Structure 1
Amino acid sequence: MAVAAGLLIDVPEARLFTTPVLGALLFVTFLSIPLRGLRIDARFLTVLALLNFVIVPLVVGAITWPLRDDGAVHAAVLLVLLAPCIDYVIAFSGLAGGARDQLLAATPFLLLGQMLLLPLYLGMFLGSSEVLAPGPFLEAFLLLIVVPLVLAALAQRSRWADVWERAGEKSMTPLMMATLFLVMAGYSAGALGEWRELLAPAATYVVFAGVMVVLGWTVAGVARLSTSARVSATFSAVTRNSLVVLPFALAMPGDLAPVVVVSQTLVELLVMVAMVWAVPHMVRRSGV
């Protein structure tokens, strides 16, 4: 309902509220995680690195080949698909039964990996050696991970920890719906206005999600991750850092690149909603 309502309402000002509401969503997500016992699982981290920094670039290189004649579109699609998500993937994977704590512990490594490797991959695919500034990545990490995480840790240590936890549980779904609505309402008009130019990128995003669901689930299974870690690894393989790389797209020549990046967010949110329903069914059918 939130997705449909957002698509029907054109409110560009909604973009101003996207980051604060997403930060609030991650705050209540972190509240439900026992932060004192947070530890890094080396096998899980290895699987995430393999999926996001080895397999994803190979898949992206293959499925974006038909877009290579349109330089601006090709560059924007590469930019968004090569950067793994570090924020709302934690909340979505948790809704599907994923290991939110392990994914949270891995976010600094995902952030550092994409900051170092994204310029390299773009140079390989586009022949450009231009280095991306780290500012947007660090800003997103600070506002959407560090601040909510510190606040959640303080809340868990306070005398009102139980009150905070109950409030977080009650507000999780409304905040998720608000996030979906704000992104759709804030960005859908621009994407729909350029729908002809976005058909090929949108199809590429759908293909990417389908391929990475299968590969993420398979690789995590071969690595013998726990069921919850396998779910989170699959979500990480699919979910991209579109809202974080948007400033880079805005700096590209022409007006289409930002819309191409935003359209990935719209496609991805629909995919995430579907995955929250489908992945638990995959778990039951596989018997893990």
Structure 2
Amino acid sequence: MSLIEKMYTFFILSSVIIGIVIGQVSLIQSNAEFFIVPILVVMLYFTFLQIPLAEIKRAFKNTKFTYTSVIINFVWIPVLAWILASVFLGNTPALYIGFIMLMVTPCTDWYLIFTGLARGNVSLSTAILPLNLILQVLLLPFYLLIFGGMTEFIKLSFLVESILFVLFLPLALAIVTKRVSRLSNIIVSKFSVLPIILLNFAIMAMFASQGHLLISNIDLIWKITIPILLFFVVNFFVGQMAGKLMKFSYPDRTSLSLTTLARNSPVALAIAMTAFPDQPLIALTLVIGPLLELPILAIITQVLLFLNKGRR
């Protein structure tokens, strides 16, 4: 794990602060938004390039783990996210949509780091990763229409165009690159932290252009904290109970917990910035999410290690 990966939360927070500071310059504030989407498209291209899509068949070899994680991630969690959003954020549509987007997209990167730290089955978690990516890309529009259709923010045509451009374009380019060039292997080995760096530049640009909204709506941090904490607490117990019910070993149960807990804020953020350009509070919600999520995952990792130690 590189230094940048270890200090992920610190760099995100630093990017937020830098963005707000440089956004005080009117020239930067008025032009920063034009850099956001291009940076995110490039970021997702390098992200997809690092994901072993050709190994998606491996996920189906452990059928019990695969269908258990898929049911939790793509059936149970969307319902839980909708319930929490309705109860705590129903009167704030932007936060409601942002919360839904964050919670229905399983993580495809840093959960592997926490799985390794908690002594989980990293190979199993890696095998399920491509399937999680494909399913979230395909299902995100449906979740937004089902759970967000009652708000005035959801416009089907614009949502489809945004997903095609921001998700499918870099995904298609990554697949083509993998098939026609060995350059992808060099990029993966030499520039594995590039997506994290690009994400931080995108966050800087976003806060440079819209940071004043966060300052004027600072209370939204506290408003979204409660449903995020409840999401992780409830889902932790659901993952552990499901693992016990399926009689998974500790490493497999740990992989299940972290696969169904960690969320994929970069993908959700990319969609939010393009599908809802006139609702920056949605994107701000998706930036605040990982600031809370990463410390929570660090704590959960220690809890898992403690539980395993108690069974020895």
In the superposition, the TM-score normalised over structure 2's length comes to: 0.66
Unaligned 5+ residue runs, structure 2? 1-9, 23-31, 117-121
* Structure 1 residues 234 and 72: CA distance shift in structure 2, 3 A: same
Q: Which residue of 1 aligns with 2:41?
A: 19
Aligned counterpart in structure 2 of residue 151 of structure 1, from 173, 177, 193: 177
Contact kept? 2:56, 2:128, Cα under 8 Å: no
Q: Which residue of 2 aligns with 1:110?
A: 136
The Cα shift of 1:36 comes to 5.4
Cα deviation digits, residues 181-225 of structure 1 (max 9, x gap): 224313342434421345313443343344334434543454355
The Cα shift of 1:84 comes to 1.8
The Cα shift of 1:74 comes to 5.8
Contact kept? 1:47, 1:233, Cα under 8 Å: no
1:47 paired with 2:68, answer: yes
Find the aligned partners of 1:269 and 1:25 in 2 and give their Cα distance: 17
CA RMSD of aligned residues (A): 3.7
Aligned counterpart in structure 2 of residue 141 of structure 1, from 160, 167, 172: 167
Find the aligned partners of 1:195 and 1:83 in 2 and give their Cα distance: 25
- Of all paired residues, the percent bearing the same amino acid is 12
State the one-letter code of the partner of 1:171: F
The Cα shift of 1:17 comes to 1.6
Q: Which residue of 2 aligns with 1:8?
A: 17
Alignment map for 1:1-288 (pairs within 5 Å): 1-10=10-19, 12=32, 15=36, 16-27=38-49, 29-30=50-51, 33=52, 35=54, 38-41=57-60, 42-64=63-85, 65-68=87-90, 70=91, 72-73=93-94, 75-77=96-98, 79-81=100-102, 83-85=104-106, 89-96=107-114, 97=116, 98=122, 99-123=125-149, 126=150, 132-133=156-157, 134-155=160-181, 158=182, 164=185, 168-172=188-192, 174-188=193-207, 189=211, 190-224=213-247, 227=251, 230-231=254-255, 234-240=258-264, 241-246=267-272, 247-250=274-277, 257-259=279-281, 261-274=282-295, 277-278=298-299, 280-287=301-308
* Structure 1 residues 265 and 67: CA distance shift in structure 2, 3 A: closer
The Cα shift of 1:153 comes to 4.8
The Cα shift of 1:270 comes to 2.4
Contact kept? 2:89, 2:95, Cα under 8 Å: yes
Unaligned 5+ residue runs, structure 1? none
Residue aligned with 1:205, SS? helix
Q: How many residues align?
A: 265
State the one-letter code of the partner of 1:109: L
The Cα shift of 1:232 comes to 6.0
